[in-house]
Amino acid sequence: MLRTMELILGLPPMSPYDAAATPMYRCFTSSPDFTPYQALPANIDLSAVNLAATPSAIKSARLDFSEVDKIDDKLFNEILWKGLKGEQAQVPAPRRSAFVRVSASDDAD
């Protein structure tokens, strides 16, 4: 998708991944179809509000979003995880694969 947008706007690829991506040529035709679009009505109530007072909702209501990075990342991740997966879901341990430990013996070499 990004490669296609770059081509439409005449922009160079931002990364090697963009440059190697296949543009979405097959999604477009040389002649436009002006047939009016028939929208389907929503099959859910768009004005419905989740009023459940779950433990995560209560924790979320106490968070201070007035400044950037003011809240605890671990707590916020837990709230988001349980909001998506359910209150009983176990939050997976963080994976920090981008960091490499260098031992003292490696420094001596």
Cα 85 from Cα 44, distance rounded (Å): 20
Domain-embedded: residue 76: yes
Cα–Cα distances in angstroms (integers) from residue 90 to residues 59, 76, 80, in the given order: 16, 14, 12
Say if CB 82 and CB 74 are below 8 A apart. no
Confidence bin at 78 (pLDDT 50/70/90):
very high
CA R_g for the chain: 24
| Number of compact structural domains in the chain | 2
Query: Is residue 38 over pLDDT 70?
Result: yes
Domain-embedded: residue 109: no
For range 37-56, the mean pLDDT:
86
Enclosing domain of residue 11: 1-29
Domain-embedded: residue 19: yes
For range 87-95, the mean pLDDT:
88
| Three-class SS state of 98 | coil
pTM of the full structure: 0.46
Q: What is the pLDDT of residue 75?
A: 93
Domain-embedded: residue 35: no
Domain-embedded: residue 94: no
Domain-embedded: residue 72: yes
Q: How many residues in total does the chain contain?
A: 109
